[in-house]
A and B are shown apart, each in its own frame.
Chain A
Amino acid sequence: GAVVSQHPSWVICKSGTSVKIECRSLDFQATTMFWYRQFPKQSLMLMATSNEGSKATYEQGVEKDKFLINHASLTLSTLTVTSAHPEDSSFYICSASPLPGGELFFGEGSRLTVL
């Protein structure tokens, strides 16, 4: 299967600071990547769709100014959580597919803890 990698795997930050999470497709190019969030003992919820060379598309209820997404190349998307607060603590997972509409492959996830 295709390989998607995330970095960092976990991060702890103080309230009010910004945190950047990277998502890379290692063996394929992805014009679109997807960012999901998973709270403890809950399932994955799509936050936004990252589009290479254009603006990201956000799901209803997700704050664009808080969760900044940049998709600068065909293998890299970044999610920046700005002015993080404890309620932003969660497991953030990115995904991508080698083929449009094909199976999504997920990264290892990044656990964010905001103190």
Chain B
Amino acid sequence: EDQVTQSPEALRLQEGESSSLNCSYTVSGLRGLFWYRQDPGKGPEFLFTLYSAGEEKEKERLKATLTKKESFLHITAPKPEDSATYLCAVQAGISSNTGKLIFGQGTTLQVKP
């Protein structure tokens, strides 16, 4: 069964304290791995797509990496405005429905000034 597990469930950082969020996955044929940011009461905001092991993408203080079993979202020198829930989702290759994303439970990040 396709599955996505994120850790930790919650993370508290001081402003400027770098850290990483983990997304482990088991899927039948990975078509793509997606990272989203979700603020309370809002829909997810697209951050990155990774397609193959070894791929890396960066955007401001965020950097996403991918291996065959997991993905990391590295946050460098975070600011309070980075506080949000970060969602990881995978798109399985076997599924004929290309819109079916399997989401992890998310990591809720709180950055204190």
Contacts and interface: CB of A to CB of B under 8 A. Distances in A.
A49 B46 contact: no
A27 interface: no
Interface stretch (A12-20, A82-90, A98-106): A98-106
B103 A97 contact: no
Interface residues of A, number: 27
A101 B100 CA distance: 10
A95 interface: yes
A23 B20 CA distance: 34
A111 interface: yes
A12 B72 CA distance: 39
Interface centre among A34, A43, A106, A107 (most CB of B within 10 A): A43
Contacts of B43: 4, 6, 93, 95, 106-109
B31 to A, nearest CB: 7
Contacts of A91: 41
A49 B41 contact: no
Nearest to B105: A43
Nearest to B43: A106
Interface string A26-51: 00000010100000001111100100
Nearest to B99: A34
B98 interface: yes
A43 B97 contact: no
Contacts of A6: 43
B99 A32 contact: yes
Q: Lowest 3 A-B CB distances belong to which pairs?
A: A106-B43, A101-B98, A43-B103
Given A45-B103, A106-B44, 19 more contacts: A1-B46, A6-B43, A34-B100, A44-B44, A44-B101, A44-B103, A46-B100, A46-B101, A57-B97, A93-B43, A95-B43, A101-B91, A104-B46, A105-B46, A106-B36, A106-B46, A108-B42, A109-B42, A111-B41
